[in-house]
């Protein structure tokens, strides 16, 4: 029997192999070509229209088996193999050799995805800086291991004629490399050189092209002189400036309406970054990874950059160069870093078009460095921060999008989820994968809402999807994404499903960790509750199909509604309204929060009258609003100019604080059948410490700890009652290092497991995935 089996394995066989994952644009076909040669197999490989790769080989069955095992074991470093399906057939003898065949528009019927953009590899960087190389100082140098992918692709399969590189026919030398199996530019679709590829040009503010021998070198000189320059990169247009000149940065803030929002900066290498920031091992790995996100770092004692880089914060967002353009500018620059932030007004999509940039940036920048390669899919920089020892996405975009999240279940439904409102993303769920879009942004702006629709449609096109079964959206009736979802569903012949915001947060967390249920703490700024009030400090018992609200933070008044989110002095008034007599509250507001009332004493009286008469007063259990109120009471931040500002500055102010210096314990109470943390008592405790002249860093630290302990007590008690062993945390509050650490420690001390986001943003950037999985599992 063994002899017969051995003979069978030696007989000629044919294997038709379908490989899915991230296998196009990452050197996979050249890898298969070389692998087949090593094993002496004949046949072909080709890209398919749904981003997968087909491989057909003939040879003896045992050898083919080893070949298939090697595909997964030895795959290219940038590839991700999710699935390999093999159909065994009789050999036909039709092949004499192995080749890379022409791509096929048809699909394999399996879910794959195009790769994200990849940072310039070491080999290309070395060649670019080598005076003897034919691509010396050419900024668009690339190979099969690096360069643009997602931002240039128009349709699948991923081949040069289906990207924006089709406008640049290969020269004789580049074509020879492209066709040489031994060359690392073999089938590297974006490959080019100074003879045949894109070119950079420098423009004055008025739109006149400047004739200079080396535009990149000129940009470096201009930046070092204190000029503001717009720079077109891989996924969009940045604005760059010196980081050591207050006057330049003040002008930049005014031009782009960013009075306080921190700027991302770019530095040439880790050694330089360490001159102004502390860099841990985990942070260094992120900074130097092929994905090159912006990493939020703690300022070092030797920090010498302008305070206007990140006003009021103890950290700074830093990235290393990831394109040839960036490397050449930073390589020649004199400054330790340069501002490299999106060249757009907050909330609007990142600029990508040359004509649009020349028009919209007039008066805001001095010069523009533009190139003639079209950006098909705009893609902002990703932003990561190490929180309680683990990386957390503030924004998941360039370098990561549109990589899918692998699910622990397979759904027969196709779902498009349109996300929330701010920091929006979209998601498409197919089978056991959920693909997440690049960062979309603030959909209250019509331009961003249109961008969201376009990004969703383009992703569906890349997946060969003509329709879906469900369009999922937020429960909030006022969100633009909610209002547009029915129109999108009608066009796609789909039904709609509203998903409660915090349920979506926790569902995305469960999807990441392969959980079916958990007790979750969903803590953020705002989410429309199923009772019509504003939630944001909730403890939920959640599964994909349902959730039960069991507790959280006490409901508090929001006098003036949205005005209370912009001016947290109003939240101080709302939280303390029932805890203090009216006159005492007025004294507190005028003594400690007066800067938060633009119209002075008159506005204080108006707010108190609103509370007294219950006019234009809303209710919220938001953790973000409590943190905002504490920031205002401690005179840390009295106006929010960007999302999360008061809470972010409160965390910075708490750095070095000792919570034990303040006697502040969370008080629990029953409210409408729920166990809640009494946040009025927390604020009163902070006020008492402030009057006792306790340093504000200690008070800030104590409030963060007390909030965390209170939420942990509610959550672990609920988990014990339900017999659930896992407690999770999601929402923007879990970007706070101290709160996250305290929650984790409290949960683990109770003998339970704590989970948090690892693959998705903790904030609203992950909500679309939660919406998608809830819709996929709904009845």
Distance, CA of 512 to CA of 404 (rounded, Å): 11
Distance, CA of 475 to CA of 418 (rounded, Å): 12
- What's the token pair of residue 157? 């399969």
Distance, CA of 510 to CA of 441 (rounded, Å): 24
Distance, CA of 267 to CA of 490 (rounded, Å): 48
Q: Report whether 585 contacts 575 (CB < 8 A).
A: no
Q: Is the pLDDT of residue 514 over 50?
A: yes
Q: Report whether 601 contacts 590 (CB < 8 A).
A: yes
Asked if the peptide bond before residue 506 counts as cis, ω within 30 degrees of 0, the response is no
10 vs 87: which has the higher pLDDT: 87
The three-state (H, E, C) secondary structure of 99-126, written as one string: EECCCECCCCCCCCCCCCCECCCHHHHH
Helices (H) and strands (E) in the chain, counts: 24, 30
Distance, CA of 580 to CA of 608 (rounded, Å): 12
Q: Is the pLDDT of residue 5 over 80?
A: no
Q: Is the pLDDT of residue 20 over 90?
A: no
Contacting residues for 336 by C-beta, under 8 A, at least 6 apart: 243, 244, 267, 272, 275, 276, 304, 305
Q: Read off the pLDDT of each residue in 277-290 and give the average, rounded to a whole number.
A: 97
Q: Residue 3: what pLDDT? A: 28
DSSP single-letter state for residue 663: -
Taking all residues of the chain, what is their mean pLDDT, rounded to a whole number? 94
Q: Residue 22: what pLDDT? A: 83
For the stretch 727-777, pLDDT in tens is 999 999 999 999 999 999 999 999 999 999 999 999 999 999 999 999 999
Distance, CA of 550 to CA of 556 (rounded, Å): 17
- What's the token pair of residue 729? 């945390």
Which residue's entry shows tokens 């002899």? 3
Model confidence at 641, in pLDDT bands (50, 70, 90)? very high
Q: In angstroms, how far is the first alpha carbon of the chain from the final one?
A: 52
A 10 A CB-CB count for 410 gives: 10
Helix/strand/coil for 412: strand
| CA dist 37 → 70, 94, 181, 766 (Å) | 13, 17, 11, 43
- Whether the full predicted model's pTM is greater than 0.85, yes or no, is yes
Helix/strand/coil for 78: coil
Distance, CA of 441 to CA of 424 (rounded, Å): 5
- What's the token pair of residue 8? 């069978």
- What's the token pair of residue 273? 């970054």
128 vs 102: which has the higher pLDDT: 128
Q: Is the pLDDT of residue 7 over 70?
A: no
- What's the token pair of residue 498? 């509203």
Residue 514 zone, left/alpha/beta (φ > 0; ψ -120 to 50; rest): left
Contacting residues for 534 by C-beta, under 8 A, at least 6 apart: 526, 527, 528, 558, 618, 619, 620, 621, 622
Contacting residues for 413 by C-beta, under 8 A, at least 6 apart: 429, 469, 470, 775, 776
Q: Residue 2: what pLDDT? A: 31
A 10 A CB-CB count for 62 gives: 14
- What's the token pair of residue 548? 């039960």
* H-only helix segments in 493-613: 501-513, 563-566, 569-576, 582-592, 601-613
Model confidence at 505, in pLDDT bands (50, 70, 90)? very high
Model confidence at 692, in pLDDT bands (50, 70, 90)? very high
Helix/strand/coil for 336: coil
Model confidence at 78, in pLDDT bands (50, 70, 90)? confident
Contacting residues for 449 by C-beta, under 8 A, at least 6 apart: 443, 480, 481, 484
Q: Read off the pLDDT of each residue in 473-498 and give the average, rounded to a whole number.
A: 97
Q: Residue 105: what pLDDT? A: 80
Asked if the peptide bond before residue 615 counts as cis, ω within 30 degrees of 0, the response is no
A 10 A CB-CB count for 506 gives: 30
Q: Is the pLDDT of residue 4 over 50?
A: no
Helix/strand/coil for 434: strand
Q: Is 215 exposed, middle or buried (0-12, 13-18, 19+ CB in 10 A)?
A: buried
Q: Report whether 439 contacts 425 (CB < 8 A).
A: yes
Q: Report whether 428 contacts 471 (CB < 8 A).
A: no
Q: Read off the pLDDT of each residue in 29-51 and give the average, rounded to a whole number.
A: 90
**CA 436 to chain centroid:** 10
Q: Residue 8: what pLDDT? A: 45
Q: Read off the pLDDT of each residue in 338-364 and give the average, rounded to a whole number.
A: 94
Percent of the chain with pLDDT over 90: 91
Model confidence at 108, in pLDDT bands (50, 70, 90)? low
Distance, CA of 632 to CA of 308 (rounded, Å): 21
DSSP single-letter state for residue 763: S
Q: Is the pLDDT of residue 347 over 60?
A: yes
Q: Residue 6: what pLDDT? A: 42
For the stretch 113-126, pLDDT in tens is 778 999 999 999 99
Q: Read off the pLDDT of each residue in 524-549 and give the average, rounded to a whole number.
A: 96
Contacting residues for 7 by C-beta, under 8 A, at least 6 apart: none
- What's the token pair of residue 80? 């991700």
Q: Residue 464: what pLDDT? A: 82
Return the axis-axis angle of helices 696-722 and 737-749, rounded to nearest 10°.
40
């Amino acid at each position: 029997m063994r002899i017969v089996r051995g003979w069978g394995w030696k007989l000629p066989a044919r294997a038709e192999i379908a490989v899915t994952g991230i296998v196009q644009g990452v050197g996979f076909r050249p890898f298969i070509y070389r692998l087949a040669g090593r094993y002496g197999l004949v046949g072909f490989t080709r890209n398919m229209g749904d981003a997968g790769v087909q491989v057909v080989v003939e040879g003896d069955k045992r050898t083919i088996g080893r070949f298939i095992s090697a595909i997964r074991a030895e795959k290219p470093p940038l590839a991700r193999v999710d699935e390999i399906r093999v159909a065994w057939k009789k050999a036909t003898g039709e092949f004499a050799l192995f080749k890379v065949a022409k791509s096929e528009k048809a699909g394999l019927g399996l879910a794959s995805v195009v790769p994200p953009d990849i940072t310039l590899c070491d080999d290309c960087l070395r060649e670019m800086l080598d005076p003897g190389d034919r691509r010396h100082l050419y900024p668009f140098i690339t190979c099969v291991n690096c360069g643009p992918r997602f931002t240039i692709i128009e349709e699948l399969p991923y081949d040069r004629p289906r990207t924006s590189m089709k406008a640049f026919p290969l020269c004789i030398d580049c074509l020879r490399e492209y066709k040489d199996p031994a060359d690392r530019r073999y089938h590297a679709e974006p490959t080019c050189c100074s003879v045949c590829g894109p070119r950079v040009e420098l423009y004055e503010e008025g739109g006149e092209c400047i004739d200079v021998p080396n535009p990149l070198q000129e940009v470096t000189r201009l930046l070092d002189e204190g000029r503001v320059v717009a720079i077109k990169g891989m996924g969009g247009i940045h604005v760059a400036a010196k980081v050591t000149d207050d006057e330049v940065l003040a002008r930049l803030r005014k031009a782009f309406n960013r009075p306080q929002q921190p700027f991302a900066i770019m530095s040439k290498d880790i050694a330089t970054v360490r001159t102004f920031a502390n860099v841990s091992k985990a942070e260094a790995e992120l900074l130097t990874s092929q994905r090159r996100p912006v990493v939020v770092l703690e300022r070092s004692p030797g920090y010498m950059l302008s305070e206007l880089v990140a006003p009021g914060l103890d950290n700074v967002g830093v990235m290393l160069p990831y394109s040839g353009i960036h490397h050449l500018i930073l390589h020649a620059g004199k400054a330790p870093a340069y501002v490299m932030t999106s060249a757009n007004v907050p909330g609007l999509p990142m600029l990508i078009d040359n004509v649009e940039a020349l028009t919209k940036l007039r008066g805001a920048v001095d010069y523009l460095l533009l190139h003639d390669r079209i950006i098909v899919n705009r893609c902002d920089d990703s932003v990561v921060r190490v929180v309680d020892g683990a990386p957390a996405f503030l924004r998941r975009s360039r370098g990561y999008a549109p990589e899918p999240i692998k699910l622990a279940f397979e759904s027969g439904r196709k779902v498009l989820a349109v996300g929330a409102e701010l920091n929006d993303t979209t998601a498409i769920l197919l089978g056991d994968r959920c693909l997440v879009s690049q960062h979309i942004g603030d959909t209250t702006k019509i331009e961003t809402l249109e961008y969201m629709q376009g990004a969703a449609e383009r992703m569906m096109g890349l997946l060969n999807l003509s329709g879906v079964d469900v369009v999922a959206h937020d429960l909030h009736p006022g969100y633009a994404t909610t209002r547009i979802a029915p129109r999108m569903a009608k066009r796609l012949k789909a039904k709609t499903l509203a998903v409660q915001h915090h349920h979506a947060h926790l569902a995305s967390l469960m999807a990441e960790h392969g959980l079916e249920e958990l007790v979750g703490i969903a803590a953020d700024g705002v989410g429309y509750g199923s009772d019509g009030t504003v939630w944001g400090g909730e403890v939920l018992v959640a599964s994909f199909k349902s959730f039960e609200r069991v507790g959280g933070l006490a409901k508090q008044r929001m006098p003036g509604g949205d005005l209370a989110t912009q001016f947290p002095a109003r939240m101080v008034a709302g939280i303390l309204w029932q805890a203090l007599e009216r006159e005492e509250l007025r004294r507190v507001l005028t003594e400690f929060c007066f800067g938060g009332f633009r119209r002075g004493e008159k506005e204080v009286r108006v707010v108190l009258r609103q509370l007294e008469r219950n006019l234009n007063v809303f209710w919220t259990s938001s953790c973000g609003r409590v943190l905002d109120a504490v920031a205002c009471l401690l005179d840390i931040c009295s106006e929010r100019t960007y999302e999360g500002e008061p809470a972010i500055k409160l965390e910075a102010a708490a750095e070095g604080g000792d919570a034990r210096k303040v006697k502040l314990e969370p008080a629990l109470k029953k409210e409408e059948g729920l166990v809640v943390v009494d946040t009025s008592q927390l604020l009163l405790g902070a006020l008492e410490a402030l009057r006792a002249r306790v340093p504000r860093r200690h008070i800030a630290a104590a409030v963060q700890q007390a909030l965390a302990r209170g939420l942990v007590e509610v959550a672990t008690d609920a988990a014990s009652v339900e017999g659930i062993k896992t407690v999770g945390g999601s929402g923007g509050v879990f970007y706070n290092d101290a709160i996250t650490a305290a929650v984790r420690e409290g949960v683990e001390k109770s003998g339970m497991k704590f989970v948090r986001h690892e693959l998705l943003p903790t904030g609203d950037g992950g909500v679309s995935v939660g919406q998608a999985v809830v819709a996929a599992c709904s009845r």
